[in-house]
Amino acid sequence: MKVEKELAEMGLYQQTHLSREDETAFIEFEFALHHIVEAFGRWSTELHEHVSGLMMTVQEVSMLQVVRMKDMPKSAAEIGKYLNRTDSANVLYALRKLEKAGLIEKSPGPPRETTYQVTAFGRDVTDRYAAKRRELLLSLIDRMSQSGSMFEGVNRTLWLMSGLYEQAARTVSVMSYLSEGPAGPTVLKLDAKASKPRRQQTDAPVRTRRKAAG
- Whether residue 204 lies inside any domain: the answer is no
Residue 129 lies in a domain: yes
- Kindly state whether residue 213 falls inside one of the protein's structural domains: no
Residue 161 to residue 36: CA distance in whole angstroms: 15
The model's pLDDT over 124-173, given as tens digits with 9 standing for 90+, comes to: 999 999 999 999 999 888 888 677 788 888 899 999 999 999 999 999 99
- The CATH number that applies at residue 110 is 1.10.10.10
Q: What is the mean pLDDT of the chain?
A: 83
Which residues of the chain, if any, have pLDDT below 70?
A: 1-15, 145, 181-214
> What's the domain count of the chain?
1
Question: What does pTM read for this prediction?
Answer: 0.75
CB-side neighbour CA atoms (13 Å) of 42: 5
Is residue 205 included in any domain, yes or no? no
Measured CA distances, 106 to 57, 77, 95 (Å) = 21, 14, 10
Which residue range is the domain that position 20 belongs to?
A: 2-143
Residue 193 lies in a domain: no
Question: By three-state DSSP, how is residue 143 classified?
Answer: coil
135 found inside a domain = yes
